[in-house]
Chain A
Amino acid sequence: MKLKNSNQSLLQKIGPFIGLIVIVLIFSILEPGFLSVNNLLNVLRQVSFNALIAFGMTFVILTGGIDLSVGSILALTGAVSAGLMASGIDPILAMLAGLLLGAILGAVNGVIIAKGKVAPFIATLATMTIYRGLTLVYTEGRPISGLGDNVAFQMLGKGYFLGIPIPVVTMLISFGILYFILKKTTFGRRVYAVGGNEEASILSGINTDRIKIYVYSLTGLLSALAALMLTSRLNSAQPTAGEMFELDAIAAVVLGGTSLTGGRGWIVGTLIGALIIGVLNNGLNIIGVTSFFQQVVKGAVILLAVLLDRKKTA
């Protein structure tokens, strides 16, 4: 009985990993250049932005919530940091301000959801629009550039550490920390508890409102971090940055096997899910699939993965 259970969950856990390997194999057969070190690092760098946001999304989804506003938080925090830098404020301070703003915007989501008892989908649908609107107001609809040449800022998106792009390093360090939090801390356990059964969690003396506010703040913070990396990489902040990012983040979480109803899942799966999406984006490009058709393939793969997952759990 016990063996059967652990086997089942093991299969569930390695399922996404097998999927990733299959996709990598297919692309490397169709186009041997896919496996070059350069291209793989490229994939990882592309993935790191989405992965950071998806890590936060994993926490949110584990509590049974959803956050549609991540792309707008990315745009707004990126724009504000860039604006501060362009106005001559110390770039480090500007970046810290961006991160703080991200956490605050996330906390606003959390407060609306926890204290205002608004469904997360609706609450973040609204703030998604509000934050995007604020971005457009702040930027007057134009990109912000002229961000100076502070080394720390420039390295964040473009630099290398031991030959590995800094965004990838940042993403992996964040992953390590977040994995530890979910696995080893009381906060992590409470995140699972809130999504597993909110009623029972409250009655066990857990402050579920606080947990919710924390996970949305964390997601805001991670979105802001992705924003800084992206702003550095492009050397400018775009008012339209991060559009549809929420969907890629949610897709990564779901591909990784985390349940949308909350309480079940793990962040390793999310990393693999983000890699699957990144590999698809890159591989389809390399083998010359048109960008229009790429969307069809991406959507179909997500659907297939979820259907296979259903089969397994049924």
Chain B
Amino acid sequence: MPYPPGLYGNLTDKGTLFYNGKIPNETFLGKAPFKGGAALEADWNGKVLWEVRHPNHHHDGRLLKNGNVLLLCATELSNDVARKVQGGRPGTEEKGKIWADYLVEMTKDGRSVWEWRSWEHLDPAKDIITAVQDERSEWTHGNAVMELPDGNLLVSFRDISTIIKIERRTGQILWKMGAPPLSGQHAPTPLPNDNILIFDNGPHRLDESFPFSRVIEVNSRTSEIVRKYEEGILSNFFSPRISNAQRLPNGNTLVNDGWFGRFFEVTLDGEVVWEYVNPYFGPASEPANAQNNNVFRVYRYTEKETARARMTI
């Protein structure tokens, strides 16, 4: 690929690779490890079919059903909004500024056709930065966006430990889940039964004294946790950042313990059936004890899906 991951790729319904790439710049966002910058589609041979760029893109981008691209972006808040942001460690703003997220829909030829701005729909006084020790350089820290089967959008914000469902037509928030029970979560994913699968990282839980991760399945109408995977000794499974989970066709769940580059598959009863640790470490310029094997997301594809990908030459 022409860019390092910013932060991952996935196979599209037609079998091509949709890939978010990293293009750093000199801004706060541009130097962040979660910077994006480019989204592209490639065929089985790695030929780039099209590419869009946005300097404020980070973490996630999605190919929409209408053929456009949805990018998660961030920018500096106005001083009026920034001074209302609650939570976090005072004095840790980025040169006095606080960043927050917005969504941009772009056509494949790079035209912006729709935007949704977090500061117009969330409340900086109520949707507070969850962890008292977090830096205030960002308010929301979006880390995932996903188009739902009904065309509405699901967005995850780590710093305010909140997931929302956005009505695409009006921009209105239709559903919201926050802390507790959520804590620094990632990658909400709709399931066929309308529930939502969430990797709930748990670096700073408001309802537990110990940090730990879990994968939870949530009823999107009642916000009830209907199923969860966690370790018997809770701290044995803890990924403070990144990570995701995916429900598989046989009912098992693929779990990406991303901070440690560890992927494993569990049955509905929580039994592990395989485990794999990413052997690719970097940066090479760092000493061994400063290298990581982080993986933002992992996705599993059926043999039929990979066969379709081979046909995209």
B and A form one assembly: no
